[in-house]
Amino acid sequence: MVSGPSGSGKHTVLQEAMKRDDGFALAVTATTRPPREGEIDAKDYYFYSREEFRRRIDAGEFAEFADVHGELYGTPRHELERHLASGKDVLLQIDVQGMRTLRTSGLDPVTVFLVPPSVEELEARLRGRATENAADLALRLRNAHAEIAARDEFDHVIVNDDLAEAVAEFLAIVRNDREQRSGGSG
């Protein structure tokens, strides 16, 4: 499970890790935010209206969900079940609230917090991707401070200053966890 503030590079690190290790499956999460240019429903996210998302909450269809930046996000149970049945390590890209929920769900996730080298770098990344208006950008930056303050709640923290190093560190964490779970000693 990977978390971190918007602009920390979660998606990029996970995509690169999946290129280097075929033992992963990325769970598609759901959101009420509108799709960004190029995003595809059921591939990048399940895009639901607020009403549909609320109906699915009421039906118990989410393993976790949270209100983040004024939009709802969650992990559909069917995504977890499908990927867990495949025997692969399920990658979740979720927020701090979602991590807290999963920790109490009976699952035993390995939690990784990805953080940029500085708040200034985070702001530059968010501005550079140009996917939010000024108000949304300000909200994401305000929320980033609270998210960064929660970093000690995670099993591991990776500073994403260099993509190749961040991916290598992430893969080392996962491989160590696989070895521990299999009872291996190396």
Task: Give a three-class secondary structure readout of 1-43.
Answer: CEECCCCCCHHHHHHHHHHHCCCEEECCCEECCCCCCCCCECC
Higher pLDDT, 62 or 104: 62
pLDDT at 17: 97
Q: Is the pLDDT score of 59 beyond 80? A: yes
Q: Is the pLDDT score of 184 beyond 70? A: no
Q: Positive or negative CA dihedral for 32, 113, 137, 126?
A: negative
125-172 residue pLDDT tens: 888 877 778 888 888 888 888 899 999 999 999 999 999 999 999 999
CA 167 to chain centre: 14
7-36 residue pLDDT tens: 899 999 999 999 999 999 999 999 999 998
The answer to whether the CB of 89 falls within 8 A of the CB of 25 is yes
Q: Is the pLDDT score of 186 beyond 60? A: no
pLDDT at 69: 81
Q: Is the pLDDT score of 185 beyond 80? A: no
65-88 residue pLDDT tens: 998 888 999 999 999 999 999 989
Is the pTM here over 0.95, yes or no?
no
Q: What is the mean pLDDT of residues 52-58?
A: 98
Q: What is the mean pLDDT of residues 95-111?
A: 87
pLDDT at 139: 83
Domains of the chain: 2-182 (3.40.50.300)
Q: Is the pLDDT score of 119 beyond 90? A: no
Residue located via tokens 């009976």: 106
